[in-house]
Structure 1
Amino acid sequence: MKSLSLYMSCLVLLFVVLLAGCQVKPQPIAYGEVNCAHCQMTVSDNRYGAEMINDKGKPFYFDSAECLALYLDQNPDQAVKAAYVLVTDFTKPGELMVARSASFIQSKELPSPMGMYLTAVADEATATKMQQQVGGRLLNWEQAMTAVKNNEKPE
C-alpha cells in the first residue's frame, strides 16, 4: 500500500512539473546570442529588442520593433495567435513591455537597428518629453505598424 501511495505521489509531482514547464510566458532575450526571426541579424542592442511568443509558448526574437511589425504584417496568422507581442523600453534596456501599451518616437535623432527610427517607451509622459527634445513624431503601436508597412521614415 505504501508503494502505491509513493507511486501516486511521484506521478502527481511529475505532472505538476511538466505542467509548470509548459506555461506560455515571455522569455528574456539572450542579446548577442539569438538572431532576429525576420531579418536574421543578431539581436544585440538591448534598447531595441522585441519578442513575440506564439500560442504554444515558442519565443521569436527581433532586433527591433520594425522587424517585429514587418514579421506580424507578413504572418497575420501568427499575429492573431500570438500570446505576447513585446518591445523593449528604451529607457530601461532589456525590459520588455506589451507593444500595444507602448508609445513610439520616430525621430532621426534615435536611430534604431533597422533604420526606421522607431524607439519604444513605456511611459507616455516620458515619450512626450523625449520627443520634445529630439523631434520627430509620437506613434502608438498600430501607427508604428502602419509606418513600418508603408516604409515611412522621418525626414
Structure 2
Amino acid sequence: MKKTVLIFAILTVVLSACSISPQPINYGKDGCSFCKMTIVDKQHGAQIVTEKGKAFKFDAIECLLNYNNQNQEQQVALFLINDFNGSGDLIDATKATYLISENIPSPMGAYLSGFESQQKAVEIQQENGGELFNWEELNRQFAK
C-alpha cells in the first residue's frame, strides 16, 4: 500500500511539473528572459510557455517577439501578453490586437501595446494615433 501511494505521489509531481500553463508574473521581482530587466509594467508584460511546460517571462511584448525570433527551434505551446487594461491578466497573444503608437511608451521603446478587445484597440488608436496589427502582421513587422 505504501509503495502504491509513493508511486502515485511521484507521478503526480512529475506530471504537474510538466503542465502547459502560464506561471504568475511576480511584478517587481521577476526578470525578463530577453533583456534581463525587472518586470514591473502590468500593461506590457508577456510570457511564452513551451510544449515542455517551461515558462519564459518578459517585461515587454517586443522582448517576447525578439526572444522568439532568436529561438525559433523552441516548440511554443502558449504565447501570452498582458492586456493593456493594466490588470496584469495574461491573454492569448495570437488572438490579440496590437497598437504601435508613439504616444504610448512601452518598456523597451517599441511603443507596442496589446489588447484583448479589437474595439478597445481601435478606441485607444483614435485617441493616440498609431497603427494596428494582428499577431501575424506583428511577427512580420518584428522579423525585419
Correspondence 1:23 to 2:56: no
TM-score normalised according to structure 1 size: 0.84
Q: 1:12 aligns with which of 8, 12, 15?
A: 8
Correspondence 1:35 to 2:31: yes
Paired residues of 1:49 and 1:65 also in contact (CA < 8 A): yes
Paired residues of 2:17 and 2:53 also in contact (CA < 8 A): no
Deviation at 1:8, TM superposition (A): 2.4
- Amino acid in structure 2 at the alignment position of 1:96: L
Q: 1:64 aligns with which of 46, 60, 65?
A: 60
Residues 13 and 40 (structure 1), Cα distance of their counterparts in 2 relative to 1, 3 Å cut: closer
- Amino acid in structure 1 at the alignment position of 2:47: E
Correspondence 1:102 to 2:81: no
TM-score normalised according to structure 2 size: 0.90
Correspondence 1:147 to 2:141: yes
- Amino acid in structure 1 at the alignment position of 2:113: T
Cα distance per residue 1:25-83 (max 9 Å; x no partner): 111111111211111111111110010111211111111111111111111112xx011
- Amino acid in structure 1 at the alignment position of 2:20: V
* Aligned residues with identical type, % of pairs: 38
- Amino acid in structure 1 at the alignment position of 2:102: K
Unaligned runs of 5+ in 1: 151-155
Alpha-carbon distance in structure 2 between the residues aligned to 1:85 and 1:58: 12
Alpha-carbon distance in structure 2 between the residues aligned to 1:148 and 1:6: 55
Paired residues of 1:33 and 1:43 also in contact (CA < 8 A): yes
Residues 14 and 143 (structure 1), Cα distance of their counterparts in 2 relative to 1, 3 Å cut: same
Unaligned runs of 5+ in 2: none
Paired residues of 1:66 and 1:145 also in contact (CA < 8 A): no
